[in-house]
Every structure is written in structure tokens, then in C-alpha cells.
Structure 1
Amino acid sequence: MAFCTEEEKTEDYLFKIVLIGDSAVGKSNLLARFARDEFYPNSKSTIGVEFQTQKININGKEVKAQIWDTAGQERFRAVTSAYYRGAVGALIVYDISRRQTFESVGRWLNELHTHSDMNVVTILVGNKSDLKDAREVTTAEGKGLAEAQGLFFIETSALDSSNVASAFQTVVREIYNILSKKVIQSQEIKQKDPGWMGNGKTVVLQADENQEAADGQSKKGGCCSS
């Protein structure tokens, strides 16, 4: 859940973000590169769910991204599906050198929509862009799918760190922008209706149907590929 607390001297935001995709597409190494600038060439498959918290400064505000790395293996699906709840951002990762992982993106999108509680800001990530000679999925195909589904898009390499920070920052910044609009809207409601029963402390990132449609249109086709 995203929130801001007015009682604190500075506004703190906590965003839950999930990393999803087939096994061995490099989700754990993307997180390790982003959070600790580390890479593990012989990393083992994630068992269940792990998470890492990373601080990002946006417009002078401290944003804490709580990033959940989920297991890609089918046998862990029942365990990890519960962790979608409360997520406001998602990175759907595929391996550009394995077309099968790209073809699984639709299934991951369906799972995200089924188990998440909110309008989740989502970016499609084509990882392992360093494997140029082994590429099976073109950049154009990735962009095309992202545009068709109204997702952001980027290609990354956890190995050489290209675009890794940008992938996470794109999601966090978009969530922050949506939340800022919600804060402004709540302030406008209070100004128009002094009797509005808001507690003034918590703003939950939960779009109504009209807002979801508007956000979807403004987000569609957004790309930040290399």
C-alpha cells in the first residue's frame, strides 16, 4: 500500500513492487544489481519470495520501494500469488534470448490482474540485452507487445547494468505521479467540502474506474527502451 503521513517532517512513501516472469530470466540479478550493484553469474532459483527495500529520491521526497522477487517456477505459484496483494508496481521480465519466456508474458499479465488489488503500474522488461548473438526476441516485438497492453517497455542487462536503474525508477516515478494526483484531488475535496470525513493522514493509491481508464490511455505506448 502506498501512503503518506503528514505528521512526519517529510513525506514518506512506501511502494510495493513485484518482479515476475519465468524462471531464470534474471529477476534476482536485476534486483541485486539495482539494490546492491551486485551480479551473481551462478545464482540459484528463488524459492518462494524474497524482498529488498531501496530508497529513491523523487522531487526532493524520499520514496521507499519494497521490491518483491517472486519465484518463477510453477510449483511456487500458489505460495507467491498472495504477495501480489497491495502491489502498486510490477516488472514483468523475459529473457531476450529465450522466446518461450516472451510468450509467457500474457500469462503473467493475467496472473497479475487476477491477484493484484489495484491499478498496477507495469513495465515490460526484456532482460539479458548483452546476449546480442543469442537474441530470439527483437526490440520491436517487445515494444509492440508493450504498446498493445498499455505497458512501459525497456531492455536491460543485469550483467553490464545497462538500463537496470531506469527500469525500476520508471515504475516508481509513475506511481509517485499518480499518488501526487490523488493527494491533490483529496485536498481539493476537503476545500470544497469541509465536512469531508478524511483522516488527513493516509492516501491510498486506488484509482476509480474512470481514473483507471484515463491513466491507461495516458500510459499506453510509453517506452523507455535503449
Structure 2
Amino acid sequence: MTLKNTADRWGPVSQSLHWLIVLLILGLAVVGLTMGELPKTPKYFWVYTAHKSLGLTVLALVLLRLGWRLYAGSPDPVPGTPTWQHRIASFTHALLYALILAMPLSGWLYDSASGLRPFRWFGLFNVPKLTAPDEAVSSFARGAHGWLFWLLVALVLLHAGAALYHHLFQRDATLARMLPQGWLKPAPTESTPENTPKDPPHVV
């Protein structure tokens, strides 16, 4: 079994990075939306630091995934996909990558410009600052972080909805090829044997 992507499906490395990034973003979203409700106790600051550490982890994983995609290539378009759908999908993927990169960068910039003391990535090492303390930059980065989040949510929902549409209505392998082989099969079409009515028995 090859680790690289093939002409008809994503390889195990691309699949693992894809779903790991999805899970981390979901966790970051939940924490980010509820963090403001936590009392300012030592636990709050632990959660806040963990949120920043996970955000930088996502940044590193996305860069790794982009590098792997350049090395391993990407599958061909699913047979039968119209050219306009393929172009929209390519644009959506590029925008997703850009947003997932911009989100942690805006958070990192906000943390840097806020003048807070350096935080330690999962307690292992200090994360360098991107800029000196600056109230205007801090305010801009904080606002951008929020707007980028909601734009990312909208795009992820569109991306997931398109994958489900292809699986349930187009009945192709768009979704299945981002999962381990055999986990999910394209929904049968009307012409497949599963839906083909059997001939009635002959009466002798």
C-alpha cells in the first residue's frame, strides 16, 4: 500500500492529516466559543494557553499537509464531475487552506500585540512574539480572528454539504476517497444490481 495519493483516492497520510486537522479545529471552536464564560481562575489561563498551543499545532499541520500535497500530488477529478464543479471545488480548497492558515496567525498576532508575557507551547518552550505591543494591531488581529472564524465555519459547512451531496445524490466517490478504502462505498445508482428489479419467475 502506497502512502502517497493515487489517481483515484487520497492516501493514508493525507487522510490522517485531513481528519486530525478537522478534529482539532472542532475542539478549538468549542473552546473558543465557551472560553469567555469561564471564571478567571488558574484553570482559565490553562485553557487559554492550551487553545493557543493547539492553534499553532493546526498551523504546523496545515503547512505539513500542503508540503505533503506538493510531494504526493492529488487525485484526479472524480469521473463525470463537470468542469465548473471541479473549478469551484479547487477554489474552495484553496480558500479553506488560506483561512486555516490565517486563523492561528491572527491569534498569534493578537497575542503578540497584546503585550502579554510569552506563553509556552504545551509547557515545552516559549513561543516568540510576532510584533511589539501595539494596541491598534491587537484590536485589528482580535477582530480578524473572530471574522475569520465565522467565515471558516460557513466554508466548512459548504464543503461538508458538497461532499454529502456528491455521496447521496451524485452517487460518486468524492467522500469515500477521503476515508480508508472499504469504509464507505458510493451510494448505489438506479443502474446498479442492488436496485435492478429481478425478472418474475416463469410459470410453466
Calculate the TM-score normalised by the size of structure 2. 0.27
Q: Which has the larger radius of gyration?
A: 2
Could you say which structure has the higher helix fraction? 2
Choose between structure 1 and 2: higher strand proportion: 1
